[in-house]
Amino acid sequence: MWVGLARYFISLNRNKKSMVLWAKFCQLLNRPDMSKDPRFRTNPLRTQNVKELIAILEDEFGKKTTKIEQMKQEGIINSKNTAPG
């Protein structure tokens, strides 16, 4: 996902913590409604609806400063890649 000139990688595990991390991630974006959206409720559903999800996330990340440090504190794996390509 691109945010400004940087690309971010965000991972939500496929284990039992996945639902908890997804809810925390949505909360950090101030979009708790996304955690209850039937299209994104589980990792397989998020994968199935990835185009819609990416469009929403790009819009949300474009609106505000990302909360990368807070994501790390909540156990949401992420990294910033500024390398071109």
Closest-CA residue to 46 (of 78, 19, 16): 19
pLDDT at residue 19, rounded to an integer:
79
Positions in the chain short of pLDDT 70: 1-16, 62-69, 77-85
Q: Which residues contact 76 (CB under 8 A, 6 or more apart)?
A: 10, 11, 12, 21, 24, 25, 28
Summarize pLDDT for 34-52 with one digit per residue, the tens.
999 999 988 888 889 988 9
Angle at 45 between CA 41 and CA 51, to 5 degrees: 110
pLDDT at residue 48, rounded to an integer:
93
Question: How do the domains of the chain map onto residue ranges?
Answer: 17-76
